A and B are shown apart, each in its own frame.
Chain A
């Protein structure tokens, strides 16, 4: 027996008895198959639900000011835009089957471009529509009470500022770092394969 055969024999001694059986694996697969994309599905679900809810309120409740309807419509539109953007993103991920490293690298590059476009354009539109819509929608309810009006608008403005100037850049940097690390790794592997 040569040295490599010894290593092969040794290799086969790895304990695999603790692996889940096929039934357990099936249960696991059904449970976790979409786990990685669950966040996106959740965003889509919530955005659609939110849009439906606002539409229902606009249809059922009689408001005095046209601004309230415009505000509601803008918020609904932002919800739909958010759902569509995430659906398009999901479609790309579901197509990602059995890719070569070069194709995967191209996928990462495309994801990176989409990410930049999302943060620089799509998200600006979504946040702008939702914020303007929110401000307009709230006005009719709080206008008769000056303290509430001031308090509500201060809170809404502060909330949007925190989201825009703190949460958004951090999320962008975190996602960008992750994508860069993945790209570097795949580039390194691709080099090894040439």
Chain B
């Protein structure tokens, strides 16, 4: 098995989830994940170990997400799904769908940051991926978590 295949098997589900969190669209997320691994494949030989491999791959993925113009056109700023009260029985898929829609209310970089946090990346690594200081990331994550927790409470009340 080649290095690329190992890397793909290890990181593709994580990258896909981050892209899905950003786009809230499975097809676009798949496209972005594929573009990410095309970039990884092209640049793997030149990867100089200056950053951790995971950090490097997540940075490529976030760059692809943030620079994809199609997503702006196809995904207008989302509103919170207040109509969820109409859903009689909430399945895990519906809950997940709610989470993506809640994330879609955030701005682009916050969407990326919280997706990486939900993926379980250490905050130092998130800072390296996004290009912000660790302190700044900590504050941003705290604020995003507060927003999401508030929305979660609202959702549970509904």
CB nearest neighbor in B for A25: B8
Is A19 within 8 A of B33, CB to CB?
yes
Distance A181 CA – B72 CA, assembled complex (angstroms): 10
| Chain B residues closer than 8 Å to A28, beta-carbon distance | 34, 38
Is A29 within 8 A of B38, CB to CB?
yes
Distance A88 CA – B72 CA, assembled complex (angstroms): 30
Is B131 within 8 A of A101, CB to CB?
yes
Of the A-B pairs whose beta carbons lie under 8 Å apart in the complex, a sample of 8, sorted by A's number, is: A7-B148, A10-B95, A11-B99, A22-B9, A26-B41, A32-B38, A101-B131, A186-B67
For residue B15, give the distance in angstroms from its CB to the closest CB of chain A: 9
Is A16 within 8 A of B17, CB to CB?
yes
Distance A181 CA – B68 CA, assembled complex (angstroms): 10
| Chain B residues closer than 8 Å to A14, beta-carbon distance | 16-17, 20, 96
| Chain B residues closer than 8 Å to A189, beta-carbon distance | 66, 108-109
Chain B residues within CB distance 8 Å of chain A = 1-2, 4-5, 8-9, 12-13, 16-17, 20-21, 30, 33-34, 37-39, 41-43, 46, 56, 59-60, 63, 66-67, 69, 72, 92, 95-96, 99, 107-110, 118-120, 130-132, 145, 148-149, 152-153
Query: Which of A50-58, A92-100, A142-150 makes up part of the contact surface?
Result: A92-100
Is A19 within 8 A of B30, CB to CB?
yes
Interface of B is mostly: helix
A185 interfacial contact with B, CB 8 Å: yes
Is A192 within 8 A of B108, CB to CB?
yes
Is A7 within 8 A of B152, CB to CB?
yes
Distance A29 CA – B43 CA, assembled complex (angstroms): 12
For residue B24, give the distance in angstroms from its CB to the closest CB of chain A: 11
Is A19 within 8 A of B13, CB to CB?
yes
Is A193 within 8 A of B118, CB to CB?
no
For residue B112, give the distance in angstroms from its CB to the closest CB of chain A: 9
Which residues 1-47 in A have Cβ within 8 Å of B in the complex?
3-4, 6-8, 10-14, 16, 19-20, 22-23, 25-26, 28-29, 32-33
Further pairs besides A10-B96, A23-B5, A33-B42: 16, Cβ < 8 Å:
A3-B149, A4-B145, A4-B148, A8-B120, A14-B96, A22-B9, A29-B38, A97-B39, A98-B63, A101-B131, A104-B63, A181-B72, A185-B67, A186-B67, A192-B109, A193-B130
For residue B8, give the distance in angstroms from its CB to the closest CB of chain A: 5
Known: A4-B149, A7-B152, A185-B67. Contact between A22 and B17, CB under 8 A?
no
A178 interfacial contact with B, CB 8 Å: yes
Is A11 within 8 A of B118, CB to CB?
yes
Is A11 within 8 A of B12, CB to CB?
no
| Chain A residues closer than 8 Å to B109, beta-carbon distance | 189, 192-193
For residue B149, give the distance in angstroms from its CB to the closest CB of chain A: 5
Known: A13-B92, A98-B56, A188-B108. Contact between A193 and B148, CB under 8 A?
no
| Chain A residues closer than 8 Å to B56, beta-carbon distance | 98
| Chain B residues closer than 8 Å to A11, beta-carbon distance | 17, 21, 96, 99, 118-119
